[in-house]
Amino acid sequence: MYVFSYLRAPKIKYYIFVTMQLLRILAFPFSLIYAFVVYIRNLLYDLGILTSATFNTPTICVGNLSTGGTGKTPMIEWLLKHLSGSSKLAVLSRGYKRKSKGYVLAQPISTAQDIGDEPLQIYSKFPEVAVAVAEDRIEGVKQLETTRHPDLILLDDAYQHRKVKPSFSILLTSYGHLYAKDWYLPTGNLRDSKRASKRANLIVVTKCPSNLDDEGQLRIISELKPEMNQQVLFCTLDYDIDLKGEKAGLSILDLKNKEVTLVTGIANPEPLLEFLKSNEILFDHREFSDHHYFSGREINFFNSRPLVLTTEKDYMRLKNKVNNLYYISVSHRFLGGGKEVIKKSLENLSN
């Protein structure tokens, strides 16, 4: 969180961590109430008392059971990259922390305040794709069907939004924070029931070590306990060593001799920190809460630094405001034959 962003002393961070863990333990009774509400809600949908809408246009849901940090946006981008050319595609997101309301279709002049940082990131890479945001997923799909006529709609972060029944569901869980080992909010990070995993067609374990072997994969599969009809795939993060920003020609290796200020406003920056450390990059880390909108004072501070490195999502909120700003892009890479498995699973939907 931002309130702690400038507290870098290890002892202080340790005390903060211990305090937060204690508060989570004390919040356990509230997590039981939350779990009960989630159970009743899912039961009402399972019994058909609450109904889910279906649409003529095939839909692929990409989501998780926890609060962020599983790599949903890079997965949407991976799907767009591998589905493009054969279909007219659209993406529907909620547009978390945007300043607008209702249904909004991304335009060349759109900003993060208009549609949210993640939808803007997707649209910046895939301008030919209809990227839209809407709080009401049903209304969002109807608008896309009426105005854009897509062959396939990707529903971003919609796993727990059961008002729309997707044609195909991809459930993400991160290697270091498997949903099978988690608990409900606010004690844990689960926002949906572990049993909800049974609705997924594919379960993808993200942010795995690149050298995760078959034995390690089998151990995780045994922990997740998938249904007989569910496949579990594994992928790792690939960081691009060539940095992007207003000026070209800088790589991650060029940062070894520079004074670097790292700015992150994402759910889990740990994989990025490990990547930079593995490349022997020294940096001053300024950590903020997920989707944080930077104040004028913070912008002024960043502009006083020789070089600012950030994530692609944060870049969507910082571009044209900070000088000497660069971002490092990241993508998913499937381990083993996972790439072919997921492509084959989606063939019928995209044709």
User: Could you tell me if 133 and 116 are in contact, meaning their C-beta atoms sit under 8 angstroms apart?
Assistant: yes
pTM for the full predicted model: 0.91
Tokens of 193: 């029931």
- Rounded to whole angstroms, the Cα distance separating 89 from 152 reads 5
- Annotate 142-188 with DSSP letters as a single string: HHHHHHT--SEEEEET-TT-TTB--SEEEEEEETTB-GGG--BTTTS
Q: What is the pLDDT of residue 3?
A: 34
Q: What is the pLDDT of residue 25?
A: 77
pLDDT band at 89 (very low <50, low <70, confident <90, very high): very high
Q: How far, rounded to the nearest angstrom, does the alpha carbon of residue 283 sit from its chain's CA centroid?
A: 24
Q: What is the pLDDT of residue 128?
A: 95
- Rounded to whole angstroms, the Cα distance separating 137 from 32 reads 28
Tokens of 252: 């991650």
- Rounded to whole angstroms, the Cα distance separating 164 from 273 reads 37
Classify residue 68 as left (phi > 0), alpha (psi -120 to 50) or beta.
left
pLDDT band at 87 (very low <50, low <70, confident <90, very high): confident
Q: What is the pLDDT of residue 108?
A: 96
Cis peptide leading into 306, omega within 30 of 0?
Answer: no
- Annotate 234-263 with DSSP letters as a single string: EEEEEE-SB-EESS---BGGGGGGS-EEEE
Residues 92-134 have pLDDT tens digits of 999 989 999 999 999 999 999 999 999 999 999 999 999 999 9
**CB-based burial, 11-37: b 16+ in 10 Å, e otherwise:** eeeeeeeeeeeeebeeeeeebeebbee
